């Protein structure tokens, strides 16, 4: 009888914590999410706040942006909302299942300015001379042919366009396996081999760095030659 009573109280205790989780903890996380976020994205978006990142890299209304490795669209929807109806996002990925999810997500969110592209390993297949910016976040370290892919971006860029790479910084995020980040030296070297120069680095994110690339010998929108920063 005593064992049965103890078991009953243990079961009631488990039920109490389950109800607490269901009624308090889950709704509190849901309340933190924005209307553009899916479940599970809140934490990563706090790590890489879309409003701060887009302000830092110069995303504006009316821009046309190509996203490499868009996945399920965590940042695609943020970029699409920022560029607005006068802008456009070409969301590329090599995973067809992810693109199917992204199509449904954009339809549900009412984002008609997103076009998904089934790309290739070394070529995102963006339309020629159409992009003000190429954007990739937590993607570069997954590229199996980074130099070839960067080279294949050049025909899609408008004059003055940039390529923005956001990847974990090994100096900030030492707990990550080596395969989960790309050192600055590697990005700069591979960008150079592909015909780009590193024009700026933003380091305000807690665990990541933002690299801004531009094709060598191009001009910025004001017509002034850009010089690569001195990283000594």
The answer to whether residue 28 is domain-embedded is yes
Predicted pLDDT at 148: 98
Does 105 share its domain with 175?
Answer: yes
Does position 28 have pLDDT exceeding 90, yes or no?
no
Predicted pLDDT at 153: 98
Percent over 70 (pLDDT), the chain: 78
The answer to whether residue 232 is domain-embedded is no
Overall domain count for the chain: 2
Does 89 share its domain with 9?
Answer: no
**Over the stretch 71-101, which tens digit does the pLDDT of each residue have?**
999 999 999 999 999 999 999 999 999 999 9
Does 110 share its domain with 180?
Answer: yes
Does position 199 have pLDDT exceeding 90, yes or no?
yes
User: If you average pLDDT over residues 58-65, what whole number do you get?
Assistant: 98
- Please tell me the pTM assigned to this model: 0.80
**Over the stretch 104-141, which tens digit does the pLDDT of each residue have?**
999 999 999 999 999 999 999 999 999 999 999 999 99
Work out the burial of residue 23: count CB atoms within 10 Å of its CB; fewer than 13 is exposed, 13-18 middle, 19 or more buried: exposed
Predicted pLDDT at 195: 98
* 25 or 116, which is more confident: 116
* 84 or 32, which is more confident: 84
The answer to whether residue 104 is domain-embedded is yes
Cα–Cα distance, 24 to 227 (Å, whole number): 53
Predicted pLDDT at 9: 54
The answer to whether residue 12 is domain-embedded is yes
The answer to whether residue 37 is domain-embedded is no
The pLDDT-based confidence of 21 (bands split at 50, 70, 90) is very low
Give one DSSP letter per residue of the chain, joined into a string: -HHHHHHHHHHHHHHHHHHHIIIIIHHHHHHHS-TTPPTT-HHHHHHS-HHHHHHHHT--TT-EEEEET-TT-TTHHHHHHHH-TTSEEEEEES-HHHHHHHHHHHHHHT--SEEEEE-BTTB--PPTT-EEEEEEES-GGG-SSHHHHHHHHGGGEEEEEEEEEEEE-TTT-TTS-GGG---HHHHHHHHHHHTEEEEEEE--SSSEEEEEEEETT-B-TTS-B-------
Longest Cα separation, the chain: 86
Predicted pLDDT at 181: 86
Predicted pLDDT at 217: 85
Nearest 5°: the CA angle 28, 29, 33 is 115
Does 79 share its domain with 186?
Answer: yes
**92 Cβ contact partners less than 8 Å away, ≥ 6 residues apart:** 66, 67, 68, 69, 70, 116, 117, 118, 119, 124, 125, 126
Closest alpha carbon to 189 in 136, 146, 144: 146
Distances (CA, A) of 163 to 89, 94, 171: 14, 19, 22
Percent over 90 (pLDDT), the chain: 70
User: What sign has the CA pseudo-torsion 147, 151, 157, 162?
Assistant: positive
Does 7 share its domain with 68?
Answer: no
Q: What is the mean pLDDT of the chain?
A: 86
User: If you average pLDDT over residues 212-224, what whole number do you get?
Assistant: 72
Predicted pLDDT at 219: 55
What domain range includes position 2? 1-32
CATH of the domain at 150: 3.40.50.150
Predicted pLDDT at 209: 96
């Amino acid at each position: 009888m005593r064992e049965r009573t103890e078991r009953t109280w243990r079961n009631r205790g488990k039920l109490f914590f389950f109800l607490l989780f269901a009624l308090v903890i889950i709704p509190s996380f849901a309340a933190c999410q924005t209307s553009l976020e899916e479940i599970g994205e809140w934490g990563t978006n706090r790590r890489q706040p879309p409003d701060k990142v887009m302000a830092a890299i110069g995303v504006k209304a009316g821009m046309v942006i190509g996203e490499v490795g868009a996945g399920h669209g965590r940042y695609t929807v943020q970029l699409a909302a920022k560029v607005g109806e006068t802008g456009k996002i070409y969301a590329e990925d090599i995973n067809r299942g992810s693109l199917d999810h992204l199509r449904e997500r954009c339809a549900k969110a009412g984002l008609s300015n997103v076009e998904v592209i089934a790309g290739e390993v070394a070529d995102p297949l963006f339309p020629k001379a159409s992009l003000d910016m190429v954007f990739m976040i937590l993607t570069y370290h997954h590229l199996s042919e980074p130099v070839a892919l960067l080279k294949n971006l050049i025909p899609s860029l408008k004059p003055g366009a940039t390529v923005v790479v956001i990847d974990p910084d090994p100096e900030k995020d030492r707990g990550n396996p080596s395969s989960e980040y790309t050192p600055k030296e590697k990005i700069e070297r591979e960008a150079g081999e592909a015909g780009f120069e590193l024009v700026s680095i933003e380091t305000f994110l807690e665990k990541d760095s933002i690299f801004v690339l531009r094709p060598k010998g191009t001009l910025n929108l004001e017509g002034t030659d850009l010089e690569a920063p001195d990283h000594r």
